[in-house]
Chain A
């Protein structure tokens, strides 16, 4: 068993280079640390940030008088009683600082009459969301942070370097093992602190607005390192993801900004509005909370009132061609290339996996249960409770990234390393990199599709004990039987099969955590809807915490929701 032939050392290792990871790298470097910023894809070009379309929720008070405590109140309401109020307060209170800093770095927030323009979004009590452009806020944020990272001394960036395991020693994180995708060899990294910013898990569901960077790796890496996760049962489904006709070259959640701008009408298969039957209002305005709308569409389809492809209609026909062109310009031509003419007919939409509220349990310094291990962005659980308020995701990435990077730099130790600590993780890569001469055994693509279908059908929008139990049984069977039998068929440069094996391992660990948590929450609340237990149970207004005991077993318990009175929320780690 040879050691990895490449070994690196850094003060702070940041895993994942989306909005949260890039901000963490900048903050850690500002704190005097040498930073290594890695991404399995390309730095600042993969992940969720670059796919974000329009709105960033933050109490700037420039469009209408506002205060961060109002944003906090709306966040808690959307979270259905489960938000970690300390984390939510951190997000809302420090959001404005990050938005101003991004402004100084030239992100180009839209302005109107000399102030930042802020718009309404569902669940907010006033116009609060800043944006760059109605489809390109995420790309602008990513580009600005890429530029700032490149200009910051002390940050080393490596693309196509995929962390497969964290390395711990004496209960503290000591670094990581990674796969160099271009060459296929293992790399070891000693680090004085690690920030996990590798995003969420939406790739695990058949219908998703995702990328290959959202496969639950953050959660699986944290579990394996001994950290706790919370709220894993709360997967947010975006209600009006594109369904038909087939659309390529655009994110399937692109109807969101269309509705912000022009309203649009959501109709069932009988061309009738229906949201008002489910306790919310629509009628051309866009105000219904995401969990309510998703649930309403699923119920209409179940009642035989769905659109032809099993969703709802979204209609802009009443707007008129000139107004559509005026509002959306060249996007109208991109739609035309997909055979879509909004002036002539509706499109079909349906829920799609979009975001994960749960994740790594952290304190207000973004520190996990494992000394030296921090988390940021969507990898973090708790701030958004059982349902995320729209516009909070980018704010969370920027704020939590900054806090995590600053504290990781401040509390780091000198990196220490012994190759023996990483031996198993290194040998996993070495073993998988050896090609085998067989065409038998399972194929990754088939297994991953099966998992995506399983979670969509049995651990998705509508759940019950029978389906959850069946899903859990198959997930455990895939972990014990299919994963060990899976062996990459490719080798050499850019062998994707090795990465795919680790992708499946992480996906199964995360899927099990979601399913176990969903089985144990015997009520319906926010994004977790149980058909067999439709009522919300006030006695279950707690968080579920999950961690690994030994090599395989997941242990679940409940913890009280962390409440905050506004004056107890100290500035996170202010000196």
Chain B
């Protein structure tokens, strides 16, 4: 059991060349990937973009990301120390970093015009 976890995150907005950033996050027993993302934004990089609404309850279903190539919810992905690699899901338009355009078409701003 380590006391930190190395989180590799694909960064960048649509049209930019993606880059990988690695963050060292304090590990605590039972922590979720969402915990780590929230910690990174508060303590390491206040520009990291990701989606979530409820906090670790898995009711809003907003925090979908790609973890080691698998589509997962950040809030139900348990970190076990060591390292983890996270990317935006590939089948939605990228906004920035881990945030993709998951808003249903009829709830989009453009639907107003």
Contacts and interface: CB of A to CB of B under 8 A. Distances in A.
Interface of A: 6, 8, 41-43, 45-47, 50-51, 138-139, 150, 156-161, 180, 182-183, 187, 208-213, 245-252, 337-339, 443-446, 448-449, 488-490, 492-497
B71 interface: no
Given A251-B57, A493-B14, A496-B41, A158 B30 contact: no
B108 A249 contact: no
Given A150-B106, A497-B46, 5 more contacts: A51-B54, A183-B109, A248-B35, A490-B49, A494-B51
Contact of A339 (B30, B43, B106): B30
B47 interface: yes
A156 B31 CA distance: 39
B111 interface: yes
Interface string B77-109: 010000000000000000111010111101111
Interface in B33-71: 34-35, 38, 41-43, 46-49, 51-62
Nearest to A135: B59
Contact of A211 (B55, B73, B106, B108): B55
The interface residues of chain A, by DSSP majority, are classed as loop
Contacts of B103: 42, 159-160, 182
Interface residues of B, number: 47
B32 interface: yes
B109 A161 contact: yes
B59 A51 contact: yes
B72 to A, nearest CB: 11
Contacts of A496: 41, 49
A496 B48 CA distance: 8
Contacts of A160: 103, 109
A185 to B, nearest CB: 10
A353 to B, nearest CB: 12
B21 interface: no
Given A50-B60, A139-B59, A249-B75, A495 B42 contact: no
B22 interface: no
A490 B46 CA distance: 7
14 contacts: A41-B53, A50-B59, A50-B60, A156-B112, A159-B107, A159-B108, A212-B52, A212-B53, A248-B56, A338-B30, A443-B42, A449-B42, A493-B49, A494-B96
B47 A212 contact: no
Contacts of A497: 46-47
Contact of A494 (B32, B49, B60): B49
Given A246-B31, A249-B76, A445-B38, A8 B112 contact: yes
Contacts of A43: 107
Nearest to A161: B109
B106 to A, nearest CB: 7
Given A159-B104, A248-B75, A46 B53 contact: yes
Contact of B111 (A47, A158, A210, A448): A158
A246 B102 CA distance: 29
Contacts of B95: 182, 493-494
Nearest to B39: A445
A462 B38 CA distance: 29
B78 A248 contact: yes
Best-surrounded residue of B31, B34, B108 (most CB of chain A within 10 A): B108
A445 B75 contact: no
B13 A492 contact: yes
